[in-house]
């Protein structure tokens, strides 16, 4: 019975992480992005959405999906990515998405600017957000 | 402005940057200003050589090592503040505190500029900037950003030109997995030697990157004035032209870097630098090998300095003529033991050959150098 309970709990935890989606502010003019658009924004290759509007990427600092997200968009591990960010940050040519410690912090920032974009679990999506990409 | 005063200002700013950084991290942590980004880097370097030798250093100067004596001369700590002033305007300042060759604590302000984002991936920057001649010249002080214990570029960087005061425009394009950046820089470069005063510089750099490969190339022209140690002006309008190409290719776990640069100068020696390096990533451990060659060619057909005034120094040092070569071959291991902290151990053989001084004849020596470093970014 104890093992069944633990197994059920694990199953619940796995499911509760949900699928990773990319969201923008609900009143943003962006309705859809490609995985390449998302990579360009989150890898600091551009500061703009494809329509020219300013993009402000945000993320959860210690999210479980963080490594997986960057692996998907860049093919790099967390350590390889750290080397990439070091070269950009210390030449002033780019910086990673602003990190927030809790979903609440991220959500409060998210609602304050029309240009914000974030990736998160679909379980955290609120009615103030618009999903513009779903990872398969 | 007197040199001692500007040094005092530089030291004060740097100590303040580090102090604020420590304060911000220890007290405010995540609650620091929303638009302020603070980043820091450090390298603790313990190096020992079996012979007396000058090595490329992380900061501007070379470091002289006495035989069989461990020293920490290449240790450095730096901080960067990046403040978003408006939606499009950003202020950026980066400095470092390090040991200089005399074992004194020294400081530098390496970047201090304003950046304006015009949209359409066009950015202009104005202020004090590092010369983007080689990948390593912009990142020289950030040891964490490179594979090796020290930069493989010559001791004085891009033929001695490390930074400049001026403006640059950057334009980037991306298409699918392909990303290009073009950079045009103009300004007044600063040379590592006090005898050389950079005047006007223009540099164009182009870089391509995809997930497994990057390539960058740069072409630079600068005018300079040069004088003797007795303040005798040799030329007020000499030229130097430089070109570089570098690439990195990743196949599975194997990362290979190659680079080449060369310069043609009216009066100062012509530099040629090349390197090749390979690393194999085994999870957090990356063993690597490298070979680097630096050549300085002194040409006696270049104009002789004018004779000193009668009654002053009667001895004229013969002008150097010939080649000065340095070959570095080494192996090492980089261990990333956390996401922002690493350890490097490197063993290298440095072979020096100089036939530029007629009176001294051919000078040859060989040294073995062992380095252990802890480096990080935070």
Distance of CA A71 to the CA centre of its chain: 12
Do B227 and B193 meet the contact criterion of CB atoms below 8 Å apart? Answer: no
Token couple for A2: 């104890």
**CB–CB of A86 and B115 under 8 A?**
no
Return the residue in A45, A92, A108, A115 with the most chain B beta carbons within 10 A, the one to mutate for interface testing.
A92
Taking CB atoms and an 8 Å limit, are A82 and B80 in contact across chains?
Answer: no
Q: In chain B, which among 186-205 make CB contacts under 8 A with chain A?
A: none
Interface touch A46/B130, C-beta < 8 Å: no
Alpha-carbon separation of residue B292 from B113, B158, B349 (angstroms): 33, 15, 11
Q: Mark yes or no for CB contact B377/A82 under 8 Å.
A: yes
A90 closest CB neighbour out of B34, B145, B170: B145
Please answer whether residues B268 and B196 qualify as being in contact, where contact means their C-beta atoms are separated by less than 8 angstroms.
Answer: yes
Q: How far apart are CA B376 and CA B295, in angstroms?
A: 32
Judged by a CB distance cut-off of 8 A, whether residue B125 touches chain A is yes
Lowest mean pLDDT: which of A42-46, B260-264, B342-346, B358-362?
B358-362
Q: B88, B35 in Cβ contact below 8 A?
A: no
pLDDT exceeds 60 at position A127: yes
Check A40 against B174: CB less than 8 A apart: yes
Backbone angles phi, psi at A79, to 5 degrees: -70, -40
**Per residue in B194-232, pLDDT tens?**
888 889 999 999 999 988 899 999 999 999 988 887 878
Only one residue has tokens 């750099």, namely B205
What is the band of A106 on the pLDDT scale with cuts at 50, 70, 90? confident
Handedness of CA A51, A56, A60, A61 (dihedral sign): positive
Task: Between B17 and A100, name the one with better pLDDT.
Answer: A100
Task: For residue B261, give its domain range.
Answer: 3-377
Cβ burial, residue B115 (10 Å; 0-12/13-18/19+): buried
Instruction: For chain A, say whether B138 makes contact (Cβ under 8 Å).
Output: yes
Q: Where are the beta strands (DSSP E) in A29-102?
A: 56-60, 98-100
Q: Tell if the CB–CB gap between B82 and A40 is shorter than 8 Å.
A: no
Please give the sequence-ordered ranges of beta strands (E in DSSP) within chain B, or none if there are none. 36-49, 53-55, 63-65, 76-84, 89-99, 105-119, 122-130, 161-175, 178-191, 196-209, 213-227, 233-251, 254-265, 270-280, 285-298, 322-338, 341-354, 363-377
Could you tell me if A91 lies within 8 Å of chain B, comparing CB atoms?
yes
Q: Is A35 on the interface with B (CB under 8 A)?
A: no
B163-199 pLDDT per residue, tens: 899 999 999 988 888 999 999 999 999 887 888 888 9
Q: Are B308 and B293 in contact (CB under 8 A)?
A: no
Q: Do B92 and A92 touch (CB under 8 A)?
A: yes
Query: The tokens of A123 are what?
Result: 């379980």
CATH of the domain at B115: 2.40.160.10
How far does the CA of residue B84 sit from the closest CA of chain A (Å)? 12
Cβ neighbours of residue B350 closer than 8 Å, sequence gap 6 or more: B53, B55, B326, B327, B328, B366, B367, B368, B369
User: Residue B364: CA atoms inside 13 Å, Cβ hemisphere, count?
Assistant: 1
Task: List CB contacts (< 8 A) between B119 and chain A.
Answer: 48, 52, 54
Cβ neighbour number for residue B330 with a 10 Å cutoff = 23
| pTM listed for this prediction | 0.82
Which pLDDT tens digit goes with each residue over B233-259? 888 888 999 999 999 999 988 999 999
Both structure tokens of B122: 């066009």
Residue A8 near chain B (CB below 8 Å):
no
Separation in Å, CA B302 to CA B51, B128, B294, B325, B354: 34, 32, 21, 20, 19
User: How many other C-beta atoms are found inside a 10 Å radius of the C-beta of residue B369?
Assistant: 21
User: Could you give the number of structural domains in chain B?
Assistant: 1
A61: which chain B residues are within 8 Å (Cβ-Cβ)? Answer: 30
Q: Do A92 and B87 touch (CB under 8 A)?
A: no
pLDDT in tens, B78-104: 999 999 888 889 999 999 999 887 778
* Beta pairing partners, B367: B350
Pick A136 or A9 by higher pLDDT: A136
Whether residues B87 and A54 touch (CB distance < 8 A) is answered with: yes
**Does any CB of chain B come closer than 8 Å to the CB of residue A48?**
yes
A101–chain B Cβ distance below 8 A for any pair = yes
Per-residue pLDDT tens over the stretch A37-55: 999 999 999 989 998 888 9
Work out how many CB contacts closer than 8 A connect A with B.
Answer: 73
Alpha-carbon gap, residue A107 to A113, rounded angstroms: 11
Q: Which residue of B has its CA nearest to A113?
A: B87
Reported as a single tens digit per residue, the pLDDT across B265-281 is 888 888 899 999 999 98
CA atoms of B38 and B21, how far apart (whole Å): 7
Give B133-162 pLDDT, tens digit per residue. Answer: 888 888 888 999 999 998 887 655 567 888
């Amino acid at each position: 019975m104890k093992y069944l309970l633990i197994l059920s709990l694990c199953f619940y935890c796995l499911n509760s992480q949900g699928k990773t989606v990319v969201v923008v502010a609900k009143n943003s003019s962006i309705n859809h992005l490609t995985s390449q658009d998302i990579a360009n924004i989150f890898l600091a290759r551009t500061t703009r959405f494809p329509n020219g509007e300013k993009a402000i990427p945000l993320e959860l600092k210690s999210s479980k999906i963080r490594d997986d997200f960057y692996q998907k968009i860049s093919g790099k591990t967390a350590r390889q990515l750290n080397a990439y960010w070091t070269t950009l940050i210390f030449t002033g040519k780019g910086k990673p998405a602003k990190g927030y410690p809790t979903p609440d912090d991220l959500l409060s920032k998210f609602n304050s600017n029309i240009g914000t974009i974030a990736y998160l679990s679909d379980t955290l999506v609120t009615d103030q957000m618009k999903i513009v990409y779903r990872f398969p | 402005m007197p040199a001692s005063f500007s040094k005092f200002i530089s030291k004060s700013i740097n100590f303040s940057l580090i102090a604020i950084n420590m304060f911000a991290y220890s007290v405010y942590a995540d609650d620091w200003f929303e638009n302020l980004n603070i980043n820091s880097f450090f390298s603790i370097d313990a190096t020992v050589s079996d012979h007396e030798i000058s090595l490329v250093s992380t900061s501007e100067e070379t470091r002289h090592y006495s035989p069989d004596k461990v020293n920490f001369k290449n240790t450095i700590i730096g901080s960067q503040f990046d403040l978003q002033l408006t939606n499009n305007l950003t202020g950026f300042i980066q400095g470092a505190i390090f040991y200089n060759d005399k074992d004194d604590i020294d400081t530098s302000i390496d970047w201090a500029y304003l950046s304006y984002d015009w949209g359409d991936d066009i950015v202009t920057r104005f202020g004090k900037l590092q010369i983007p001649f080689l990948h390593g010249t912009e990142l020289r002080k950030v040891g964490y950003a490179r594979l090796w214990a020290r930069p493989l570029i010559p001791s004085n960087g891009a033929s001695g030109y490390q930074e400049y005061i001026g403006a640059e425009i950057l334009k980037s394009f991306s298409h699918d997995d392909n990303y290009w950046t073009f950079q045009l820089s103009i300004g007044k470069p600063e040379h590592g030697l006090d005898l050389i005063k950079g005047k006007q510089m223009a540099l164009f750099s182009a870089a391509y990157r995809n997930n497994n490969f990057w390539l960058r190339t740069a072409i630079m022209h600068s005018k300079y004035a040069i004088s003797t140690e007795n303040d005798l002006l040799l030329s007020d309008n000499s030229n130097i032209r430089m070109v570089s190409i570098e690439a990195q290719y990743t196949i599975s776990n194997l990362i290979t870097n190659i680079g080449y640069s060369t310069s043609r100068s009216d009066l100062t020696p012509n530099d040629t630098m090349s390197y090749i390096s390979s690393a194999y990533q085994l999870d957090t451990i990356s063993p690597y090998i490298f070979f680097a060659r630096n050549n300085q060619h002194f040409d006696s057909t270049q104009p002789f300095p004018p004779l000193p005034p009668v009654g002053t120094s009667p001895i004229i040092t013969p002008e150097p003529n010939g080649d000065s070569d340095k070959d570095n071959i080494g192996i090492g291991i980089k261990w990333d033991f956390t996401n922002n902290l690493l350890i490097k151990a490197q063993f290298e053989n440095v072979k020096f050959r100089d036939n530029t001084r007629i009176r001294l004849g051919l000078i040859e020596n060989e040294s073995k150098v062992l380095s252990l470093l802890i480096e990080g970014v935070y």
